[in-house]
């Protein structure tokens, strides 16, 4: 995508009613496209989706492929894609608007601040799909212990964290982090999910990056765990 197009999409998403942007000062409130503060912390379901359905997050959602696919499969849940790149989430957000999907929204923020935007226990589950492995920068990995601590704060008890990745490094790293934390409990781990029939139908969905990784012959890994 060219720079001009990226800038246009970035500007566009600021006008979408299903995209929330964070105040540049990174305070714990949100501003909507009219510039009004709309602090949804603790009441995303009633305040945005106008229901009381469970809230499922997709972190590092990119174009929002998984957010949209899961939301289509599960109209009984609310889905929120989170990423720092507005021009990327434009695709999923626009698709959701054009197809009238009321159970999909997006939040543009750094995941480092994720626990400022949700009350304790507000999220029912978290998906993390193909995050950057950050080979040389352990602390930036979305599966590093400080990130898991943020996820723990916003997840309901028993809420599941799902990681789908092509990276052997990130897969092994995640298992190490989980095994070294007695509050974590692995429910399922598979280093090559497509080598046999899928154990969970939702794994069938493929993101933009997953398609690229599969195209160059990478195997896809998946971990499912809880943190109390
Ligand atoms: C490799 S892409 C994967 C996108 C998508 N999940 C997919 O599979 O196509 C990683 C995404 O993570 C986002 N990202 C990385 N670190 C982030 C952070 N700390 N906060 C918010 N977004 C982040 C990037 O903007 C990028 O869109």
Say which residues have a Cβ less than 8 Å from residue 139's Cβ, sequence separation at least 6. 146
Say which residues have a Cβ less than 8 Å from residue 49's Cβ, sequence separation at least 6. 55, 78, 102, 103, 105
pLDDT of 36: 59
Confidence of residue 26 (pLDDT cuts 50, 70, 90): low
Catalytic: which of 39, 52, 83, 132?
132
Cβ atoms of residues 76 and 50 within 8 Å: no
Over the chain, what is the mean pLDDT? 93
| Cα separation, 182 vs 169, whole angstroms | 22
pLDDT of 132: 96
Span between the terminal Cα atoms of the chain, in Å: 41
Average pLDDT over residues 141-169: 97
CATH number at residue 112: 3.40.50.150
CA proximity to 166, closest of 137, 132, 202: 132
120 to each of 41, 134, 150, 156, how far by Cα in Å? 9, 28, 10, 7
Indicate whether residue 22 lines ligand 1 (CB < 6 A): no
pLDDT digits (tens, 9 = 90+) for 165-221: 999 999 999 999 999 999 999 999 999 999 999 999 999 999 999 999 999 999 999
pLDDT digits (tens, 9 = 90+) for 80-132: 999 999 889 999 999 999 999 999 999 999 999 999 999 999 999 999 999 99
Number of neighbours of residue 228 by Cβ within 10 angstroms: 12
pLDDT of 15: 87
Tell how far the Cα of 59 is from the centroid of ligand 1, in angstroms: 7
Domain of residue 66 covers: 3-227
Residue to mutate, 62, 88, 163, ligand 1, most ligand atoms under 8 Å from C-beta:
62
Cβ atoms of residues 114 and 148 within 8 Å: no
Confidence of residue 34 (pLDDT cuts 50, 70, 90): low
CA proximity to 228, closest of 156, 174, 177: 156
Examine the residue annotation and report whether 132 is marked as an active-site residue of this protein: yes
Average pLDDT over residues 127-152: 96
Order of strands across the sheet that contains 123-129: 30-31, 19-22, 104-108, 78-83, 55-59, 123-129, 155-165, 221-227, 184-190
* Total domains, the chain: 1
pLDDT of 10 strictly over 90: no
pLDDT of 139: 96
Indicate whether residue 166 lines ligand 1 (CB < 6 A): no
pLDDT of 29: 67
Confidence of residue 28 (pLDDT cuts 50, 70, 90): low
């Amino acid at each position: 995508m060219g720079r001009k197009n990226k800038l246009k999409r970035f500007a566009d998403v600021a006008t979408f009613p299903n995209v929330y942007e964070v105040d540049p000062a990174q305070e714990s409130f949100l501003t909507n496209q009219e510039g009004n503060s709309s602090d949804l912390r603790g009441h995303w379901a009633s305040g945005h989706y106008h229901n009381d359905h469970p809230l499922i997050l997709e972190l590092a959602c990119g174009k929002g492929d998984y957010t949209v696919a899961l939301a289509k499969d599960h109209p009984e849940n609310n889905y929120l894609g989170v990423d720092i790149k507005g021009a990327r989430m434009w695709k999923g957000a626009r698709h959701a608007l054009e197809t009238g999907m009321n159970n999909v929204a997006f939040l543009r923020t750094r995941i480092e601040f994720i626990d400022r935007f949700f009350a304790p226990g507000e999220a029912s589950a978290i998906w993390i799909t193909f995050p950057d492995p950050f080979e040389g920068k352990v602390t930036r990995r979305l599966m590093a212990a400080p990130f898991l601590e943020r996820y723990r704060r916003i997840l309901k008890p028993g809420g599941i964290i799902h990681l789908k990745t092509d990276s052997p490094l990130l897969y092994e790293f995640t298992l190490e982090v989980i095994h070294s934390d007695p509050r974590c409990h692995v429910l399922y781990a598979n280093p090559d999910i497509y080598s046999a029939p899928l154990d969970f139908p939702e794994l069938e969905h493929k993101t933009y990056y997953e398609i690229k990784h599969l195209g160059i012959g990478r195997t896809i890994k998946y971990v499912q765990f809880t943190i109390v």
